[in-house]
Structure 1
Amino acid sequence: MTPMRNSGRVFTLSRFAIYFEMVAQAGSIRQAATVLNVSPSAVNRQILAIEQDMGTPLFHRHSTGLSLTSAGELLLATIRAGKRDFEAFQTRLTALSGLHGGLVTMAVVEAVSDRFVPDILSEISKDYPRVEFSIKTMDFKTIWHSVSRNEVDFGISLLGSEKLSRRVRVVATLQAPIGFIVRPDHPLAAWKEARLSHVLGSRLIIPDATLAVGAAIREGLVAQNVDIKPAFSCNRIVSIKALVRSGLGVALLTQADVIDEEKSGELCFVRVIQSDIKPLRFALIHNTQRQLSAAAHATLDVITRNFHALSTAESAGSLPDISS
């Protein structure tokens, strides 16, 4: 038997695959040609050309018809397996294209619900317009429980010291530094970094302890033995930013909370240094036992890419437009 000279040709000739399978089923070139509505000579030429390329016969020729050789049986099994794989690919591609739509469910913390998540959904919806989304804003502990109980496709929560369930996988993380939020006309606006002592005479706006960022700030202040009495305490990030815009004080938030406002020049972020206030770490999580749809996989991939892009930019000292 001579060595195969061009095996790749077999897998690129879809017409041959159709002809070959029909001949194998019919056991006759003439009968296969009748079913395929082509001439017997066209079918025979395809078979002979591939046999010559492969350097081995695919059929035993008998007076009563054709039967597969061992090489022919192997090739038939390969073609049929390829058809099954391609059909599975087409099914996934159709679902991914949004033709069949689908529902993606997620649970997120408020810090990413105002800007990050809407931009992600805008990007996904351009490619998959029939996909529906269900977004629930929860506190970070509830999100972990919801993902652990397999109630949502995935969640964006905070990575803390709590014990992780073996069913919950952290797909990507994003570190968000905490700093002062001020208006552009505030003296601190021209600074990149500042210490807590620089705002001791200012009216401070601090998130409520029910928010993760508020709990982190208070924990840092206690560790540093700093007694700060805020002028305002609020449990909504949106409200805190509105207070700063109104000129009522200086807020403490994460840089992720003011991506939009930084870009527009409406508010400024000044990183806190020489402080026990630790950055927050966001985590993209999902339940390893959950079967994700093609739409959920696509959404997860986009969020993962954005997490990595933001992490790279944060390390470099600037945050990009996450919708780009």
Structure 2
Amino acid sequence: MRFHAPALYYFHAVRRTGSIRAAARTLNVASSAVSRQILKLEEEIGAPLFERTARGLTLTTVGEMLARHVMTVLQDHDRFRSDVQSLSGTWRGSVSIACIESLAESLLPGLIASHRGRARRVTFTTQVMGSADVLDALSRGEADIGIAMALRHPQDLRQVALKRFRLGAIVATDHALARRRTVTLAQCLAFPIIHALPELSIYHLLQPLIAQLAETPEPAVQANSIDLMRELAARGVGVAIQTQIGIGRLAKSGQLKFLPLDNAGSPVWSDLGVYVRAERVLPAHTESFLQELVRELGDRERQENADHGKVRA
């Protein structure tokens, strides 16, 4: 069901793909048809919408203004279509999620399976990326829901929920540290360390703690993959620093032990945020999934606080 001018869809596709040719493939139309619609828009507006760069087509200032309008129009259209379909008692539509890697294995599979069990005509698209990229994807309209380590977010995004989880060392169950209840960063660095690269939020959470140490040995492994880091830790390669929510099946199967990080007698926290576009009213099926997500994160936060004997205020 499309009752908006084709030019809006064509403009949206070019903005997302960065080229006329790629947009044409996405829309399954000729490149010339896309070019005509973009030129028509530019003539009506009286200003160019794109400029050519080495990376492809990028939006001009006027193009960015139009992009915000088009994004709202198309998302409102999706909500209207979902609301109409819900009158028949059946949800149809799609949910697009951008999230950090640690949740892709431990949190989302159960939530998506549960939602699909009740609404089989709702489809899901999940993109795994770093926290900053999650926020960018939401701002560009490339995702409905974003889950990321809490960062200062742009005004066009709304933080739906903020949950707090302990940061800790993950080690193989036969590691020398595994018998401890908590560990300091200095104790972890006495062993080979598996360190996050700057693309991961954990890197930036640890930097203030590392700066306080007199000496910081060279990491045994550096990686931008949470999954690789925990797999290496489970194989005894070294100590990795992550949240408990991300270690999933390896902890349940007894291959990994989580040891809360202690900094001069204080726990080290990692804040996890759930985000949506600020001005957007979500379709019913997306809002339903969002609320399930927030509840599940809240349950896990409470469970972790109970496990570590600390209730968050």
**TM-score, with length taken from structure 1:** 0.64
Query: Cα deviations across residues 52-99 of structure 1 (Å, max 9, x unaligned)?
Result: xxxxxxxxxxxxxxxxxxxxxxxxxxxxxxxxxxxxxxx859639973
1:152 counterpart = 2:155: no
Partner of residue 118 from structure 2, selected from 124, 127, 140: 127
Question: Structure 1 150/204 Cα, relative in aligned 2: closer, same or farther at 3 Å?
Answer: same
| Aligned position for 2:305 | 315
Q: Give unmatched runs, 5+ long, in structure 1.
A: 1-90, 320-324
Question: Structure 1 244/305 Cα, relative in aligned 2: closer, same or farther at 3 Å?
Answer: same
Question: Structure 1 131/318 Cα, relative in aligned 2: closer, same or farther at 3 Å?
Answer: farther
1:303 counterpart = 2:296: no
Query: Cα deviations across residues 186-234 of structure 1 (Å, max 9, x unaligned)?
Result: 2322222112332343111111122111222233211445423211111
1:230 counterpart = 2:219: yes
Question: Structure 1 96/184 Cα, relative in aligned 2: closer, same or farther at 3 Å?
Answer: farther
Contact 2:189–2:216 (8 Å) recurs in 1: no
CA distance in 2, matches of 1:223, 1:152: 38
What amino acid sits opposite 2:134 in the alignment?
Answer: I
| Aligned position for 2:179 | 190
| Aligned position for 2:78 | none
- Once the two structures are TM-superposed, the CA of residue 308 in structure 1 deviates from its matched residue by 1.2
CA distance in 2, matches of 1:171, 1:112: 17
| Aligned position for 1:178 | 167
- Once the two structures are TM-superposed, the CA of residue 150 in structure 1 deviates from its matched residue by 3.3
* SS, match of residue 133 in structure 1: strand
| Aligned position for 1:259 | 248
1:110 counterpart = 2:101: yes
- Once the two structures are TM-superposed, the CA of residue 314 in structure 1 deviates from its matched residue by 2.1
CA distance in 1, matches of 2:263, 2:174: 24
| Aligned position for 2:133 | 142
Question: Structure 1 132/278 Cα, relative in aligned 2: closer, same or farther at 3 Å?
Answer: same
Percentage of pairs with the same residue: 24
What amino acid sits opposite 1:292 in the alignment?
Answer: L
Count of residue pairs the alignment pairs up: 227
What amino acid sits opposite 2:186 in the alignment?
Answer: S
Question: Structure 1 225/171 Cα, relative in aligned 2: closer, same or farther at 3 Å?
Answer: farther
- Once the two structures are TM-superposed, the CA of residue 248 in structure 1 deviates from its matched residue by 1.4
- Once the two structures are TM-superposed, the CA of residue 100 in structure 1 deviates from its matched residue by 4.7
CA distance in 1, matches of 2:87, 2:180: 46
- State which structure, 1 or 2, has the greater radius of gyration over its C-alpha atoms: 1
| Aligned position for 1:292 | 282
- Once the two structures are TM-superposed, the CA of residue 277 in structure 1 deviates from its matched residue by 8.6
1:99 counterpart = 2:90: yes
- Once the two structures are TM-superposed, the CA of residue 261 in structure 1 deviates from its matched residue by 2.0
- Once the two structures are TM-superposed, the CA of residue 156 in structure 1 deviates from its matched residue by 0.5
CA distance in 1, matches of 2:267, 2:195: 13
| Aligned position for 1:208 | 197
Q: CA RMSD in A?
A: 2.5
Contact 2:85–2:92 (8 Å) recurs in 1: no
CA distance in 2, matches of 1:128, 1:166: 32
* SS, match of residue 188 in structure 1: coil
* SS, match of residue 199 in structure 2: coil
Question: Structure 1 226/124 Cα, relative in aligned 2: closer, same or farther at 3 Å?
Answer: farther
CA distance in 1, matches of 2:214, 2:277: 39
* SS, match of residue 108 in structure 2: helix
Question: Structure 1 210/165 Cα, relative in aligned 2: closer, same or farther at 3 Å?
Answer: closer
CA distance in 2, matches of 1:96, 1:309: 31
